[in-house]
Amino acid sequence: MSRIAIRNATIVTMNPGRQVLRDRVLVVAGDRIAGLEPAATWVPSPGDEILDARGRIVLPGFVNTHAHTAQQLGRGLADDVDLMTLLHDRVFPYESSMAPDDSYVSTLLFGIEQIANGTTTFADAGIQHASPTVQGITELGIRAAFCYSVTDAGEGLPSGWKLSADESIARQEEAYARYHGAANGRIRWWFGLRTLFNNSDQVVELTAEAARRLNTHVHMHLAQSPGEVKYCQDARGASPIRLLAKLGLLGPNLLAVHCLYTDDEEIDLMAEHGVKLSHNPAAGLKIMGVPRIIPFRERGVVTALGTDSGASNNRNSMPDEMWLTTLLQKGAHGDPAVMTAQEVLEMATIDGARALGWDDEIGSLEVGKKADLVVVDPGTSNMQPLHDPIANLVFCMKTDNIQYTMCDGVWLMKDRRIGHVDVPAVLRAVHEHAGQVRERSGIQLPARFPGA
Ligand SMILES: [Zn+2]
């Protein structure tokens, strides 16, 4: 078996002791970390590929817990508008106008951006066409948890999106049977629920049952606006989290996304049931309000980071979200001591893995785990000097500092170059497909400046 050895780096393991190792060689064999050997005694074997990473920092690959591959080609179509306009007038028409080959191109663009920013695993909140999306991820070499974004009720849905609750579950079970565990286990299939505006009580109950039966997870946008809370209280008899408690969806396999508008009792309910929270600071600020996460963390809710979509955030960069997470919470709480760099780094790595129920395999650099890692080059003007490396990773690092990305023991980016995907060809296809989908969707953007 071919081995890859990374020497002379500072290794930020994110293991249970949060050890930072120097003078160790990280050895990868096949898809796993095979050793963290003392440098003084380690001897390479013939055929070993050796990366001398002197002056570099090795981290676990980032885990992006909330993304939308289907919205990547819609970047720039939903700016400066409120949430309902974004959904009903921009994102829904765009996504519903996608053909299978558009999904493929959208997935490739998304994945290229993830690899470039050091993300090796992501959870998608709902895809359009499964086969080309899975194909794209298989070619890209990253790890993903997919679902369909189920809609069975409510207003504002494109034609063809409103399936019955039973049809929605059957479609997902079929995809689970086909894709769960594909690509050497890099692909997992989950159940998706779009929002309570478009999900009936019945589909929520059936989803809870099916996900438990198949031992998989559920991805859902929740408590995104005061309007959603009011709608749930008026039309469904309880606020969002209380409603889900009643319907049996709260559990350790639920990834609840956003949750800006939850009261303390609802956060207690989430903690009690082991629900995980995906915090997406950029999308939250842009569309929903000021996200709080400290009350969740104080109650022991696993909180992780997500970028959300090209349409709702525009930057799908985990380094950007890390930076924003710490600044936002410091400002919102009026306390510069909250959300430390080490907490944010946990959210982006091991807690992301915990949120996805994947921490037995990823999220930290430990012998036996999957070899998902990034090599950071801090030798640039924006990261020097390096008095406090962990702080610099959160407060200073930019996407360009991610020099190498590895997933499943395979280099996906080397020295900033992604070699296994034809990036220029993908960018040409993006130009073509993004325009075609927009034309079919009929979305008209107001001109911002004359001639723009
Ligand atoms: Zn989302």
Taking each helix axis from N to C terminus, what angle separates 341-348 and 318-333, rounded to the nearest 10 degrees? 140
Q: How far is the CA of 257 from the centre of ligand 1 (A)?
A: 7
CATH code for the domain defined by 3-60+369-413: 2.30.40.10
Q: How far is the CA of 125 from the centre of ligand 1 (A)?
A: 6
| Residue intervals in the chain for CATH 2.30.40.10 | 3-60+369-413
pLDDT tens for each residue of 117-140: 999 999 999 999 999 999 999 999
Q: What is the pLDDT of residue 452?
A: 75
Q: Which 3 state secondary structure label does DSSP give 37?
A: strand
Q: How far is the CA of 361 from the centre of ligand 1 (A)?
A: 25
Give me 26's structure tokens. 């990280």
pLDDT tens for each residue of 13-34: 999 999 999 999 999 999 999 9
Q: How far is the CA of 189 from the centre of ligand 1 (A)?
A: 17
Q: Terminus-to-terminus CA distance in the chain, angstroms? A: 56
> Which ranges constitute the DSSP H helices of 185-305?
201-213, 226-231, 240-247, 264-273, 281-283, 294-298
**Cβ contacts of 213 within 8 Å, gap of 6 or more:** none
Q: How far is the CA of 46 from the centre of ligand 1 (A)?
A: 47
Whether the CB-CB separation of 364 and 15 falls below 8 Å is answered with: yes
Q: How far is the CA of 221 from the centre of ligand 1 (A)?
A: 6
Q: How far is the CA of 68 from the centre of ligand 1 (A)?
A: 6
Q: How far is the CA of 67 from the centre of ligand 1 (A)?
A: 6
Q: How far is the CA of 402 from the centre of ligand 1 (A)?
A: 25
**Cis ω for the linkage preceding 16 (within 30 of 0):** no
Q: How far is the CA of 121 from the centre of ligand 1 (A)?
A: 16
For the chain, the residue count is: 452
Beta strands across the sheet bearing 402-407: 20-21, 10-12, 57-60, 373-376, 402-407, 410-413
Residue 1 pLDDT greater than 90, yes or no: no
Residue 426 pLDDT greater than 90, yes or no: yes
CATH code for the domain defined by 62-355: 3.20.20.140
Q: How far is the CA of 200 from the centre of ligand 1 (A)?
A: 19
Q: How far is the CA of 83 from the centre of ligand 1 (A)?
A: 11
Give me 271's structure tokens. 């903690």
Q: What is the pLDDT of residue 451?
A: 83
Mean of per-residue pLDDT scores for the chain? 97
Q: How far is the CA of 282 from the centre of ligand 1 (A)?
A: 11
* Element holding 27 (H helix, E strand): strand 24-29
- Where residue 234 falls among pLDDT bands split at 50, 70, 90? very high
Q: How far is the CA of 223 from the centre of ligand 1 (A)?
A: 12
Q: Which 3 state secondary structure label does DSSP give 120?
A: strand
| Residue intervals in the chain for CATH 3.20.20.140 | 62-355
pLDDT tens for each residue of 325-378: 999 999 999 999 999 999 999 999 999 999 999 999 999 999 999 999 999 999
Q: Which 3 state secondary structure label does DSSP give 339?
A: coil
Whether the CB-CB separation of 210 and 247 falls below 8 Å is answered with: no
- Residue showing tokens 């799908």: 316
Q: How far is the CA of 108 from the centre of ligand 1 (A)?
A: 18
Q: How far is the CA of 77 from the centre of ligand 1 (A)?
A: 15
pLDDT tens for each residue of 169-203: 999 999 999 999 999 999 999 999 999 999 999 99
Whether the CB-CB separation of 147 and 192 falls below 8 Å is answered with: yes
Q: How far is the CA of 308 from the centre of ligand 1 (A)?
A: 5
Q: How far is the CA of 114 from the centre of ligand 1 (A)?
A: 16
Residue 2 pLDDT greater than 90, yes or no: no
Q: How far is the CA of 414 from the centre of ligand 1 (A)?
A: 30
Q: How far is the CA of 278 from the centre of ligand 1 (A)?
A: 10
Q: How far is the CA of 307 from the centre of ligand 1 (A)?
A: 9
